[in-house]
Structure 1
Amino acid sequence: MLATSLAGDYPLLNLFWTIAEIFLWVLWIFLLIRVLDDVFHDDSMGGGAKSAWAITVVLIPFLGVFVYLIARGSGMGERSLKRAQKNEQDFQKYVRETATGGGDSGSHADELAKLADLRKRGDITEEEYQQAKAKVLA
């Protein structure tokens, strides 16, 4: 009879070893992606240096990643922190501009409202209103 269980063919120690191997491969892939991300986001390196590091890391992955970590690893955290701070500042600036109506759409709407108010009060004619509206929308 060929009814054998998979658990009997795959002992518990082999299961633990397989889980450890998968964990290490995922960890390795994460490290490889992190190094390539740092290479391409580093503004202090030129295109030639970036391509050389990328080729090294792709063709000789273990040696390339370890050499990169030794040579440039100390600045990886600093570059990542600066990038995160810049992103946060850009986001805060965008939120402030949007909340205060500092964008173009807010100023256009304000201008049109002022023009409509002037026309309603009779300070400007319909023709002047249409000309001013065309300038604001242009």
Structure 2
Amino acid sequence: MEFMDIIWYIVICFAFVAYLIMLWMIIGDLFRNREQSGWVKAIWIVFLFVFPWLTGLIYLVVHGTGMAERSAKEADRYKAAQDEYIRSVAGKSPAEHISDAKQLLAEGVIDQAEFDALKAKALA
């Protein structure tokens, strides 16, 4: 196998991977786009498999801005959900723990020694 054959093989592999990524991104955007009807989406998918590179480039030119906006909106939604999850499992701050312990002490549920232990634990 000659050196140029290896280079050509690398170029072909790169083009194939680029095609798969383009196909994945466009099909994902098609299903994310709520403004298009199902028939229009089906036509895009058929053309993507019949004339893949040409259809992919046309789709990117026609829907490129909307594709970026939908992708950013989706990323914002995922980030908000992740932040909410982290807040829900992160627990309370030391000040909140001490405040809760102070309230329990005021209600007489715990005594001063237990309050001091909870305060020390919260500050540790």
TM-score by length of 2: 0.64
Match runs of 1:66-85 below 5 Å: 66-85=57-76
CA contact (8 A) 2:19 2:53 kept: no
Percent pairwise identity? 27
Gaps of 5+ in 2: 93-124
What does the per-residue CA deviation read over 1:92-127, in whole Å, with 9 as the maximum and x for residues that have no partner? 1223234459xxxxxxxxxxxxxxxxxxxxxxxxxx
What does the per-residue CA deviation read over 1:22-62, in whole Å, with 9 as the maximum and x for residues that have no partner? 11111122111111111111222232222222222123212
Match runs of 1:97-108 below 5 Å: 97-99=88-90
Matched, 1:51 2:42: yes
Partner in structure 2 of residue 88 of structure 1: 79
The aligned length equals 92
Partner in structure 1 of residue 32 of structure 2: 41
Larger radius of gyration: 1
- The one-letter code of the counterpart of 1:79 is R
Q: Distance in 1 between matches of 2:85 and 2:36?
A: 29
Q: Relative contact order (C-alpha < 8 Å, sep 6+): which is higher?
A: 2
Partner in structure 2 of residue 12 of structure 1: 3
What does the per-residue CA deviation read over 1:74-107, in whole Å, with 9 as the maximum and x for residues that have no partner? 2222211110001111121223234459xxxxxx
CA contact (8 A) 2:29 2:67 kept: yes
| Of 1, 13, 16, the match for 1:22 | 13
- The one-letter code of the counterpart of 1:95 is I
- How well do the aligned residues superpose, as a CA RMSD in angstroms? 1.9
- The one-letter code of the counterpart of 2:74 is R
- The one-letter code of the counterpart of 1:17 is W
Q: Distance in 2 between matches of 1:26 and 1:63?
A: 16
Q: Distance in 2 between matches of 1:72 and 1:39?
A: 10
Partner in structure 2 of residue 62 of structure 1: 53
TM-score by length of 1: 0.58
